[in-house]
Amino acid sequence: MSGIFGLKEQVALVTGASRGIGRAIAETLAEAGCDVAVTSRNAEESRRVAEEIGRARSVRTVGLRADVSNQESVRGLYLQLCTWSSDRLDILVCNAGYPMRPEIWNTPLHATPPAKLAAWYQEVFNTDALGSMLCTFEALPLMMSKRGGRILYIASTPALEGYRGAPYTMAKAAVLGLMRDVAREYGKYNIRANALALGNIRTPATFDQLDKAGQEALAAEAPLRRWGAPEEVGKTALFLVSDLSSFVTGQVLVVDGGTVRR
C-alpha cells in the first residue's frame, strides 16, 4: 500500500486513537507505511495500542497521553512528538471528540436543564472545536517549515444538516469552519486541509448504546441500509491524506452510506 499512497515513513499524529474510529485510522495509515503517534487521555491505552499497531505493521509507533482541550497538555504532546519524530509531522488527524452522552445528544435546546446549559455546550466545544484548533496551532509551524502537510478533521453529518443535539452540532460545525480557514490560508505552504462528515459508524460508543430497534432504525436511514464500519472511515481518511487527493483541499467528504446527498 505504501507505494500507491506515497506515505512510506511519513509521520502521522492521530488524536483520540486508542479505540474506535481513531484506532482504525491509525491502523490504516500504518498499513500504508506511516510511522504513527497514537494519542488519547489514557497513557497506558495509547502505549498499548501503539505497540500493537507497530508489531502488526512493522512501522515506528509511539503512544502518548494528551487532553486536547487543554493548551498545556497539547503543547506537551507536541514536545514529545518532536523528540520522537525529529521535528517531523506530515499528517495530523484531529479525531478526538467529546464522549457521546445520550442526555446531551437527545436533548433539544429548549429542553436543556438551565443549570447544565453552559456546561454542556462548553465541554463539547472545548474538546471537539478548541481541541482541533490547539492541535492545528502546534502542527502548522512544523508543516510550514517543511512546506507541506495534510490535516484531516473528523466532523459529523449533523454539522451539515443539524440535529437536536445542538452542542455536538455546533462544535462539529466549528471544526468545519476551522478546516476551511486552514485550507485557504496555508495552501501557499502546500498544506492541505479537509474533513470527513461521518454518519452512523458502528462503534461501542454509538451502536452499543442502542437497543435492537434503535440500531435497525438508524441502519435504515441510509440508502445502503447499514451502519458504516470504522475501517471504512480509515480507508476514506487514507485517500484524503495521500497523494491520491493531491489537488483536494478545503472539502468535506460525507461518509454515511448516502443519507446526506450533496
**Residue that the C-alpha cell 500500500 belongs to:** 1
The arithmetic mean of pLDDT across residues 189-212, rounded, is 92
Q: Is the pLDDT of residue 214 over 60?
A: yes
Q: How confident is the model at residue 2 (pLDDT cuts 50, 70, 90)?
A: low
Are the CB atoms for 80 and 64 separated by under 8 Å?
yes
Q: Is the pLDDT of residue 230 over 70?
A: yes
What is the DSSP-derived secondary structure letter of residue 260? Answer: S
CATH number of 2-255: 3.40.50.720
pLDDT in tens, 92-101: 999 999 998 9
pLDDT in tens, 124-163: 999 999 999 999 999 999 999 999 999 999 999 999 999 8
Q: Is the pLDDT of residue 262 over 90?
A: no
Q: Is the pLDDT of residue 35 over 80?
A: yes
Q: How many CB atoms lie within 10 A of CB 19?
A: 16
Q: Is the pLDDT of residue 1 over 60?
A: no
How many Å apart are CA 196 and CA 178, to the nearest integer?
13
Q: Is the pLDDT of residue 3 over 80?
A: no
Q: Residue 168 catalytic?
A: yes
The arithmetic mean of pLDDT across residues 98-116, rounded, is 93
- The residue annotated as part of the active site, out of 121, 168, 186, 189, is 168
Angle between helices 131-146 and 71-85 (to 10 degrees): 30
Grid coordinates standing for 167? 452542542
The values of phi and psi at residue 197, to 5°, are: -105, 110
User: What is the reported pLDDT for 40?
Assistant: 97
Domain ranges for the chain, please list them. Answer: 2-255
Which spans in 147-229 are helix H?
A: 158-161, 166-186, 212-221
Q: Is the pLDDT of residue 112 over 70?
A: yes
SS3 69: coil
Sheet containing strand 149-156, edge to edge, reads: 61-65, 35-40, 11-14, 91-94, 149-156, 191-198, 252-255
User: What is the reported pLDDT for 175?
Assistant: 98
Q: Is the pLDDT of residue 179 over 90?
A: yes
Q: How confident is the model at residue 208 (pLDDT cuts 50, 70, 90)?
A: confident
Q: Is the pLDDT of residue 26 over 70?
A: yes
